[in-house]
Chains A and B, each alone.
Chain A
């Protein structure tokens, strides 16, 4: 009878200790961050007032400014994002094939491809843009390369993962007919990963539209250049127009991607 009366607990003592330790570490990190960060009290107290002032200066947006300056910059942004995404495939597809252990049986090549993909992903597109502005000079070329080099790691990693998950049956069947390696990849592997690949590519294109909008802040072309100019001249009504344009294009891109994905997959 006594055994039935005993109190049940959901976690073992070790699990409970682990949970409390996790909470403790989170609180400790927060306290350290809040105490260490430099916050200027005067800035904090008049923040709401300043925000309202900024919004008041932005309203009404100077819609007359949209054509032609903002429109051309917007088209340039679209080209940078699309071309950068397309350009990334040239490196991403071979690297993904090299990184997939079931396609490329050499461990050294797998590791090399993984290293290149990780490097591409670790450097943010704005930092890539800084680097390419130093190389190509300011302009859309730097932006396109920045978008492409950032996308290689993303597309390559996800494509390599998709490749590693394919069923080996069709590959073996093709090999048994005496097909060469390139035929095995083209007719055995590609049909199995094609939907995943286009899904990843569309997803990255959507992200790239957002990212290419800010590349202009470091001189890499697109709508960010116009935005940076308007901010530097304190033309807040123009800033509002540009932000609206970015908002519309980002939402449109998301709708297009959702529609296309639904048809592809």
Chain B
């Protein structure tokens, strides 16, 4: 046996994977053509990007009061929508858990949860803006729907993974349904539930800086207005403030998570 045939056997070519890579490359070329993205257009874009960045620098914090007001409103939207979403997700998650609730109810609840999650929160925000008017309330409603769907799904999955032995033991003592929930189910899922809630608060904070783009309150409205007026130095200031806020929130929630462990 020659050396080259031994090397061949050590790492045999994976034809399936290679074909998949070629297919992806072909698709990319086709999609570039379909979307009309050409080298010339990219070159023009690079020049524009330079001008754009030039106009963003230095960030203009002169209107810091407007900025702070928007950020605080975003924070309020995030807090309220997380609280409402979590409260609504508790019964929904329980109803969707196939090991504790009767299956027709579980199926219907699952469908409802999937529906809540499949529409993007910005689209939901548009609908609420049309239905209940401009302002923070529409943002709260939209983010509540999104949080509800997300937490209820994770909560239902957490409940389905619990050990039924403890539930049976509590049932064997003659406990009612409420007592089974409090002593048999809750202790098994509480810590994970706190984790989901914290994560959701974090992501609601990100999302609440955005729903303003469609008029649903928060810093997003200020950002969109600044973009439309080509106030790019103010845009830079808002973006820096949002990134700082999100980064701070991530650090704090990381600390809390470390404490809980």
Contact = CB atoms under 8 A, between A and B. Distances in A.
Nearest to A234: B130
Nearest to B50: A135
A119 B246 CA distance: 11
Nearest to B226: A130
Kindly name the residue among A32, A54, A130 whose own CB sees the greatest number of chain B CB atoms within 10 A.
Answer: A130
Given A43-B137, A187-B11, A135 B227 contact: no
Contact of A37 (B44, B45, B76, B126): B76
Contact of A30 (B42, B79, B123, B140): B79
B31 interface: yes
A256 interface: no
Contact of A211 (B31, B79, B120, B217): B120
B9 interface: no
A77 to B, nearest CB: 11
Contacts of B247: 118, 122
Given A36-B72, A37-B77, A135-B45, A43 B206 contact: no
Nearest to B49: A135
B41 A38 contact: no
B47 to A, nearest CB: 9
Contacts of A126: 122, 210, 213
A39 interface: yes
Given A86-B28, A214-B122, A247-B118, A127 B239 contact: yes
Given A231-B126, A243-B123, A43 B135 contact: yes
A51 B41 CA distance: 44
Interface in B206-225: 206-207, 209-210, 213-214, 217, 223-224
A254 B35 CA distance: 24
B130 A134 contact: no
Given A36-B72, A126-B213, A127-B223, A141 B41 contact: yes
Interface in A29-63: 29-30, 32-34, 36-40, 43-44, 47, 50-51, 53-54
Nearest to A227: B123
B80 A30 contact: yes
Given A30-B80, A47-B132, A136 B41 contact: yes
Nearest to A236: B130
Contact of A38 (B49, B83, B118, B135): B135
Given A141-B36, A210-B120, A217 B243 contact: no
Contacts, number: 148
B114 interface: yes
Contacts of B31: 79, 82-83
A213 B120 contact: yes
A251 B114 contact: yes
A131 B51 CA distance: 12
A221 B11 CA distance: 44
B108 interface: no
A241 interface: no
A140 interface: yes
B133 A43 contact: yes
Contacts of B179: none
B24 interface: yes
Interface string B116-146: 0011101100110011110111001000000
Nearest to B259: A18
B112 interface: no
Interface in A58-105: 75-76, 79-80, 82-83, 86-87
B64 interface: no
A219 B239 CA distance: 19
A110 interface: no
Nearest to A31: B79
Contacts of B120: 210-211, 213-214, 246
12 contacts: A43-B132, A54-B130, A80-B35, A83-B28, A86-B28, A127-B210, A130-B227, A134-B48, A134-B227, A210-B120, A221-B35, A227-B123
Given A38-B217, A76-B35, A86-B27, 17 more contacts: A26-B83, A33-B75, A36-B73, A51-B131, A82-B27, A124-B206, A124-B207, A127-B210, A134-B232, A136-B45, A141-B37, A144-B37, A214-B122, A246-B118, A246-B119, A247-B119, A251-B114
Interface of B: 11, 24, 27-28, 31-32, 34-37, 41-42, 44-45, 48-49, 52, 72-73, 75-77, 79-80, 83, 114-115, 118-120, 122-123, 126-127, 130-133, 135-137, 140, 206-207, 209-210, 213-214, 217, 223-224, 227, 232, 239, 242-243, 246-247
